[in-house]
Amino acid sequence: MMYATFTAADSKTLLDGFKQVYPKIDAAYYRSNDSALMERYVNENRAGQNLCDVMVTTSFYGHNLKKRGLFAPYDSTGAQIFPRGL
């Protein structure tokens, strides 16, 4: 499940591209504005239900989620080309 603030058309385009590469994964999206996505995600987390796998939001709301400890760490293999701390 992808939560996004994109337009519905852009969200569908992104998901369609994902499904072409990974046809066996049944992916879906939920589209809303930033504040509604934040509220939905935080409420799901409080209820012990993490239904979202990917969230596309602005840096303001992303920063708030990070402060709450709701981000999982991910070290991209592509990040190795950048200096540490960048």
CB 7 within 8 A of CB 44: no
Q: In what helix (H) or strand (E) does residue 56 lie, and over which residues does it extend? A: strand 54-56
Q: What is the pLDDT of residues 35-59, one digit of tens each?
A: 898 889 889 988 988 888 888 887 7
Give residue 51's pLDDT. Answer: 87
Residue 21: pLDDT band with limits 50, 70, 90? very high
Which of 53, 70, 63, 60 shows the shortest CA–CA distance to 34?
Answer: 60
Rg (CA), the chain: 15
- pTM of the complete model: 0.70
Is beta strand 2-4 parallel, antiparallel or unpaired with respect to 54-56? parallel
Give the model confidence (pLDDT) of 69-86 as tens digits. 887 777 778 878 888 776
